[in-house]
Amino acid sequence: MAVQVTDSNFEAEVIKSELPTLIDFWAPWCGPCRAMGPVIDELAAEFAGKVNIVKMNVDENPATPSKYGIRAIPTLILFKGGEVVEQITGAVSKSSIKDMITQKALG
């Protein structure tokens, strides 16, 4: 299972993370987010130790999504060394997220 991060630990868990970090912005009322949820959990297990994969509930944590200009969910953002390196909006397949992680996070 991907760990839930919050506005208060975002800095520590994502920006200062040693590993590249993929964060999934979601909400309980969002159908496509529900569709993506299990895929993100599977990826978190598969990339454990190599890429940090976490989720943030935008309902409970408004500050971070607003800081990154998020106006649609699900949105995935990949951070490396505290910088945004890739952003995907909308429900996408597991293989396309895997390709993105392999190229942009581990490449």
Partner 1 sequence: MKLYDSIVIGGGPAGMTAALYLLRSGVSVAWCEKLSPGGQMLMTEEIENYPGFPKGLKGYELVDLFAAHLDGWSFDKYTDEVAEIIPGNGVHRVRVGDEWVEGKTLIICSGARYKRLGLPNEERLTGKGISYCALCDGNFFRGQEVGVVGGGNSALEESLYLSKLVKKLHLIHRRDDFRAMKCYQDKVCIKPDIEVVRSTVVTEIHGENALEGVTLRNLKTGEEHFLKLDGLFVFIGFEPVTGFFPDQLGVDAQGFIITDVEMATNVPGIFAAGDVRSKLCRQVTTAVGDGATAANSAFLYLEQLDA
User: How many CB atoms within 10 Å of residue 83?
Assistant: 8
* Catalytic, out of 14, 22, 33, 78: 33
Tell me which amino acid residue 27 is. A
Beta bridge partners, 25, equal: 56, 75
Active site residue 65: no
**Residues 83 to 102 in contact with partner 1, rule: CB under 8 A:** 87, 89-91, 93-96
Q: Nearest approach, Cβ of 34 to partner 1 (angstroms)?
A: 6
Helix (H, G, I), strand (E, B) or coil at 89: strand
Helix (H, G, I), strand (E, B) or coil at 25: strand
Tell me which amino acid residue 100 is. M
Active site residue 2: no
**Residues 23 to 82 in contact with partner 1, rule: CB under 8 A:** 27, 29-39, 42, 58-59, 69-75
Q: Return the active site residues.
A: 30, 33
Tell me which residues touch partner 1 (CB under 8 A): 27, 29-39, 42, 58-59, 69-75, 87, 89-91, 93-96
